[in-house]
Every structure is written in C-alpha cells, then in structure tokens.
Chain A
C-alpha cells in the first residue's frame, strides 16, 4: 500500500515526466507488436492496424499507465474544475445554494451576537454585585419605576430599604 502511495507522490511531483514515460511505454509496446506482426507476414500498414486493434484502445491503456503515477490530488482537482463548469452552466443552482448558505450563516451569526452580548459577556461595571434595581413601592405592593429627578432631589419617599437584584439589602 505504501509503495503505491510513494509512486503516486513521485507522480505528482513529476507529472509531465510521468505522462511522457507512460506514452513512451505504450509506444514501445506498439512498436514491438508491429515488428512481431511483420515477422508473422503482415504488411507494415496491416501490422500497425492490427497492433492498435489488439491493444484495445490506446487511450485507455495510456490512462491506466498514467493513473498509477499521479496522486489523488489530480483527480480531485479535475473534479473541482468539472464542478465549476457545471455550476456555470446552471447558475440557478449556484444562486440558490449561495443564498441558502448566506441566510443560514447570517441568522446564526446574528443570534450568536445577541446571546453573546446579553448573556455571555460579563457586565461592564466595576462592582457588579452592588448593582441595585430601585423602584418605588406603594402600600398595595405595586411597583413603579422611579424618576431619576425625583430620586436625586430627594423628593421621592425614602424607601426603607433597597433590595438589590441579588438579595443584598442595604439601608
């Protein structure tokens, strides 16, 4: 298995040379076969024709010889080029695929950004556990948001205690 792999790595690095050698191998085979055919009494033209016929497809033989000496990169690259060409022929598929990807990625990113900002990041205050929610209460237990102005001026009824969200009670 590794020997095959090594041959392929070498093939990638010397691709054009590998192709030339593959051609040479096939040529050699054809020449020898033609000579043998002539020895069997055929004319040179006939010898060549029969040799080609017997080889059963020069292209196939050449591809078979080449294939062992090229790396899988090669066929992946060829597949990629084929994919690009077929996408060019059918732009609708391409557009739909891109649109769906964009939508999916966009929505996910947006969701994550929101979650990240609200929940995952620490609160940007120096002493977050002393943060307090201040609101006015009345006898009936309702709550109302406090107007900052009234609080600052001290006009609001001074609450008896301020309960912070985290349960700390400060006078």
Chain B
C-alpha cells in the first residue's frame, strides 16, 4: 500500500480528529491514524511529537500524565474547546481544497 507523506498542517488536522474520537496518548494516535486509513497514512513518528507539542502550545489540546497499559505512565492528550473549533474550520477548509483539486484534476 503506497504511503503518502504528510505535510505539517495535515498531520495537525489528523491529530485533532483522532483526539475528537477520544483522549489518547502519542503512540495510540499514531496507531489509530494507521488503522483508520487502512495503512494509507503513516504519520512519521518523528514528526508526531513536535506536532503534538505545537498543538499544545496553541492551546488546541491539553495533556496530563496518567497510568496506562504496560504498567507505565503515559501522557494522555485531550482536545480542548478551542481545538474542537479549529478541527471544524480546518476540516471545512480541507474539503474545499480537496474538491477544488478534484475539479481541476478531473477536467478533460
């Protein structure tokens, strides 16, 4: 399955969407993206944590340490209200973008 490279802004959007489904930790987010996209999208894990860091600085997500699997503590991220709004606006922008691209690419 070909893997597409993710641009910075799109990774942020994906993270917000995954967290809208429920709070999760870094690895969980990465795994979910892979699962749901049926291996179509594979977030480079190296860019995952910087992306999470950016989102937290902007106030779109918040985090706290909590016990989880493996008898280890993990940092669980949650979507904030601001993040929820951001998700909506960005999803709409993205869909507009995708529609425009499709129109141009499918023109004969």
Contact = CB atoms under 8 A, between A and B. Distances in A.
Interface of A: 1-4, 7, 21, 24-29, 31-33, 35-36, 54-57, 60-61, 64-65, 67-68
B74 A25 contact: yes
B74 A1 contact: no
A29 B56 contact: no
A56 B59 contact: no
A21 B27 contact: no
Given A28-B70, A28-B74, 4 more contacts: A2-B59, A64-B50, A67-B53, A68-B53
A9 to B, nearest CB: 13
Dominant SS among interface residues on chain B:
helix
B49 A33 contact: no
Contacts of B28: 32
A137 B31 CA distance: 107
Interface in B37-67: 44-50, 52-53, 56-59, 62, 65
Contacts, number: 79
Interface size class of B (residues with CB under 8 A): 20 to 34
Contacts of A60: 46, 50
A54 to B, nearest CB: 5
B59 A4 contact: yes
B72 A24 contact: yes
B17 interface: no
A64 B57 CA distance: 12
B54 to A, nearest CB: 8
Contacts of B45: 29, 33, 54-56, 61
B75 A36 contact: no
B62 A3 contact: yes
A26 B53 CA distance: 13
B57 to A, nearest CB: 4
B69 interface: yes
B93 interface: no
Q: Which 8 A-B pairs have the closest CB atoms?
A: A56-B46, A4-B57, A3-B59, A64-B50, A32-B27, A68-B53, A29-B27, A61-B49
Given A55-B46, A64-B50, A25 B75 contact: yes
